[in-house]
Structure 1
Amino acid sequence: MKVLFVDGTIIGNKTGAVLDTVETYVKESGSAIEVERMNFADYEHQFVDGRPSAQYNADMQRLIKKFEEADGYIIATPIFQGSIPGVLKNAFDMLHPHAMRYKPVSIVANGGTYQHHLVVENQLKPILDYFRCLVTPNYVYTHAGHFDQDNRIIDEDVHNRLRELVRVFEKYTEMSKGLANDMLDEK
Structure 2
Amino acid sequence: MKILLVDGTIIGRKTGAILEQVKLYIEETNPELTLEIMNLSDFEHQFVDGRPLGDYNEDMREMVRRFTEADGYIIATPIFQGSIPGVLKNAFDMLHPRTMRYKPVSIVANGGTYQHHLVIENQLKPILDYFRCLVTPNYVYTHTSHFDETNSIINEDVHDRLRELARVFAEYAKMSTHLSKETIDNP
Q: TM-score range by the shorter chain?
A: over 0.9
CA distance in 2, matches of 1:37, 1:169: 16
| Alignment partner, residue 109 of structure 1 | 109
| Contact 2:29-2:170 within 8 A present in 1 as well | no
Q: How does 1:1-40 map to 2 (within 5 A)?
A: 1-40=1-40
| 1:146 positional shift | 0.2
CA distance in 2, matches of 1:16, 1:165: 16
| Alignment partner, residue 72 of structure 2 | 72
Matched residue type, 2:38: M
| Alignment partner, residue 44 of structure 2 | 44
| Contact 1:147-1:155 within 8 A present in 2 as well | yes
Matched residue type, 2:98: H
Matched, 1:147 2:147: yes
Partner-residue secondary structure (3-state), 1:179: coil
More helix by share: 1
CA distance in 1, matches of 2:146, 2:12: 15
| Alignment partner, residue 59 of structure 2 | 59
Matched residue type, 1:36: E
| Contact 1:153-1:159 within 8 A present in 2 as well | yes
| Contact 2:67-2:100 within 8 A present in 1 as well | yes
| Contact 1:31-1:170 within 8 A present in 2 as well | no
| Alignment partner, residue 125 of structure 1 | 125
Partner-residue secondary structure (3-state), 2:31: coil
How many residues are paired up?
Answer: 184
Worse overlay, 18-27 or 29-38: 29-38
Moved beyond 3 Å, runs of 4+? none
Name structure 2 gaps, 5 residues minimum: none
| Contact 1:142-1:158 within 8 A present in 2 as well | yes
Matched residue type, 1:160: D
| 1:32 positional shift | 1.2
| Contact 1:4-1:72 within 8 A present in 2 as well | yes
CA distance in 1, matches of 2:180, 2:61: 24
Name structure 1 gaps, 5 residues minimum: none
Matched residue type, 1:120: I
1:111-156 C-alpha deviation (Å, 9 max, x unpaired)? 0010000000000000000000000000000010000000000000
Partner-residue secondary structure (3-state), 2:178: helix
CA distance in 1, matches of 2:103, 2:64: 15
Partner-residue secondary structure (3-state), 2:124: helix
Using structure 1 for the length normalisation, give the TM-score. Answer: 0.96
CA distance in 2, matches of 1:164, 1:20: 15
Matched residue type, 2:164: E
CA distance in 2, matches of 1:19, 1:134: 19
